[in-house]
Amino acid sequence: ESQRKERLGNVLEKVNENFKKSYNELSDGGRGELFLENPDEPFKGGLELWAQPRGKSSKVSRQQLSGGEQSMAALALIFAIQDYDPSPFYYFDEVDQNLDAYNAERIAKMCRKRSERAQFIMVTLRKVSLKLADHHIGITHGGDGCSRRILDFDRERAIALGEAALKEAQKDADKNESRIMDAVVAAQDMPTVPEALGVPRSLGGLLTHMHDDAGEEASLGGLVERTQELTEDINERAQVVAKLAEIDPSTDAEVSTPIEPVLEADEE
């Protein structure tokens, strides 16, 4: 296990030095570095890449880089691995598609420089890449879902077709952008708060009965409270009469007389 870690550390150190050089060359002065996610247990983690393009803050993470900047960092890593363990040939499929003209030229020159040690096969529509290539193979759509190879293909013809295809791709991109903007405008015109929904007719009568039942329950509750209060008053008066009768029996008739109508009214 210790030997595996040591070998991995040695390889990473050399590839990291190559990556610093290749990224500095591709980004015209940028800085980059490779490091392990888990240095203590390297085989339980992955490899992380840090890149700082020229003119950007060092605190920018890899996820915050643009698509073109991420492409440049990925190509720099490929070139760094090539310097450590070269391959006989490399195949790039439109790696310069999302790059501006300046960075596309830097990629083309880097491939041209390294073509002395390995063969590069690149699918591209960029004029600068076509100019620096030694051989050109034209591929076009036959209209039946199959691709056709153009055998007789010189550099001038390749540049002309590349420029035409690039203009067509830019035209399609502009159309897509216009559609996106139209969709955004349409979304902004929509009301942010939906209108309140009315009460469905099927629930109208039910809601009315619910309000009526609530009123009846409120009136019955008040009647029950008043009945309880009246009952308590009658009981208190009965207790007072009983006490007075014990003290002076002659007061029984006088005090109890006015209570009888109340009891009769309560019984009714």
pTM of the model: 0.54
Tokens of 173: 């991109």
Residue 202, pLDDT score: 53
Mean pLDDT of 158-177: 76
State how far the alpha carbon of 37 is from the alpha carbons of 5, 34, 45, in Å. Answer: 14, 10, 5
What is the rounded CA–CA span in Å between residue 234 and residue 240? 10
Question: What is the enclosing helix (H) or strand (E) of 231?
Answer: helix 201-247
What mean pLDDT do residues 21-39 have?
A: 89
Residue carrying the six token digits 């008739």: 253
Note the pLDDT of residue 81: 92
Q: What angle do CA 19, 21, 23 make, to 5 degrees?
A: 65
> What pLDDT sits at residue 17?
94
Q: At residue 257, does pLDDT exceed 60?
A: no
pLDDT at 221: 64
- What is the chain's length? 268
What ranges do the domains of the chain cover?
A: 1-85, 88-185, 219-267
The whole-angstrom separation of Cα 165 and Cα 158 is 10
CB 91 within 8 A of CB 83: no
Which residue(s) pair with 91 in the sheet? 121
211-238 per-position pLDDT tens digit: 555 555 555 666 677 777 778 878 887 7
**pLDDT value at residue 217:** 55
More confident residue, 23 or 55: 23
Mean pLDDT of the chain: 77
Give the model confidence (pLDDT) of 42-69 as tens digits: 888 888 888 888 887 777 777 788 888 8
Residue with the bigger pLDDT between 120 and 265: it is 120
Partners of residue 47 on adjacent β-strands: 36
- Give the pLDDT of residue 249: 60
- The predicted model gives 176-186 an average pLDDT of 77
Residue 265 has pLDDT above 60, yes or no: no
Matching CATH topology for 1-85 and 88-185? yes
pLDDT average, residue stretch 9-21? 92
Residue that is written with structure tokens 């591209």 in the block: 124
Q: What are phi and psi of 33, to 5 degrees?
A: -160, 150
Side-chain half-sphere exposure of 16, counting CA atoms within 13 A: 14
Q: How confident is the model at residue 254 (pLDDT cuts 50, 70, 90)?
A: very low
Identify the burial level of 109 via C-beta atoms within 10 angstroms of its C-beta, where 0-12 means exposed, 13-18 middle and 19 or more buried.
Answer: middle
Tell me which residue has tokens 């007389």: 257
What pLDDT, on a 0 to 100 scale, did the predictor assign at position 212? 53
CATH topology of domain 1-85: Rossmann fold (3.40.50)
pLDDT at 18 over 80: yes
pLDDT at residue 107 tops 50 = yes
What CATH architecture is 88-185?
Answer: 3-Layer(aba) Sandwich (3.40)
Question: Is 26 within 8 Å of 110 (Cβ atoms)?
Answer: yes
